[in-house]
Amino acid sequence: MADPGPTPRAPREDLPTLRGPRVVLRPACEDDLDALWALTQEKELVRWWGAMDRHGLRLELFEDWSHYFVIEIGGELAGAIGFYEENDPGYRHAGLDLFLGPAYLGRGLGPESIRVLARYLIDERGHHRLVIDPSVENERAIHAYEKVGFRRVGVLRRYEKGSDGEWRDGLLMDLLADELVQE
Ligand SMILES: CC(C)(COP(=O)(O)OP(=O)(O)OC[C@H]1O[C@@H](n2cnc3c(N)ncnc32)[C@H](O)[C@@H]1OP(=O)(O)O)[C@@H](O)C(=O)NCCC(=O)NCCS
């Protein structure tokens, strides 16, 4: 029998809804899966997020170690942003990932979403360091993350498999709490 994946569940009790000037980040739930999956099938997202099947996206969104929010703009579902936490006290940090649908790209909404989530991770969850790891070729993402204060750490060689099935390099970027650039 096919693996049904993680148990469907309501939004996580421990995640609040977060708000920025234009974005609302609300905890993702099972009911969001179809709309988010449809966004990930758009060409621009397949290129950078990989050709994810529905089951793969479900795992990404709802695995116990991952915490995802839907990004809403003007009441519309525009994308998703998530984080994981390394809670070993000697290495504690959080990692982020996000995507926006094609209609929402290039309007500063990605950086705004990251700022809102970063503030929460720093102020409420006590993180001193955040990481993000775009493809080295994803210049738009790298530029967007630098605007928020992330710095380039180094190349992660053959780090992730692209939608063409080939391994490609990633760029590790990090941000320390006092480096977050607020607009
Ligand atoms: C990456 C992403 C989150 C960034 O969010 P965004 O809201 O589109 O970001 P911005 O509106 O700030 O635009 C990106 C910036 O990069 C610039 N840019 C665009 N294409 C670029 C390129 N090829 N090279 C360098 N800079 C580029 C834009 O001019 C803009 O900078 P500016 O504000 O100084 O003019 C969003 O584009 C996205 O979801 N992309 C598809 C999925 C993806 O790549 N996810 C990231 C996985 S790590």
Work out the pLDDT band at 7, boundaries 50, 70, 90. Answer: very low
Tell me which residue has tokens 């070993």: 88
Ligand 1 neighbour 49 (Cβ under 6 A): yes
30 has a pLDDT exceeding 60: yes
Q: Sign of dihedral through CA atoms 48, 52, 58, 60?
A: negative
Q: Quick check: helix, strand or coil at residue 25?
A: strand
Task: Report the chain's C-alpha Rg in angstroms.
Answer: 16
% residues pLDDT > 90 (the chain) = 79
Report the nearest atom of ligand 1 relative to the CA of 112: 7
Give the H/E segment covering residue 76: strand 76-86
More confident residue, 5 or 19: 19
Q: What is the mean pLDDT of the chain?
A: 92
Query: Domain limits of the chain?
Result: 18-179
pLDDT in tens, 92-113: 999 999 999 999 999 999 999 9
Ligand 1 neighbour 44 (Cβ under 6 A): yes
Mean pLDDT value across residues 131-157: 98
Work out the pLDDT band at 65, boundaries 50, 70, 90. Answer: confident
CATH number of 18-179: 3.40.630.30
Ligand 1 neighbour 141 (Cβ under 6 A): yes
pLDDT in tens, 151-168: 999 999 999 988 888 999
Give the residue whose CA is nearest to atom 3 of ligand 1: 110
Work out the pLDDT band at 1, boundaries 50, 70, 90. Answer: very low
pTM: 0.93
8 A C-beta contact, residue 115 and residue 183:
yes
pLDDT in tens, 77-93: 999 999 999 999 999 99
> Rounded distance, CA 107 to CA 96, Å?
20
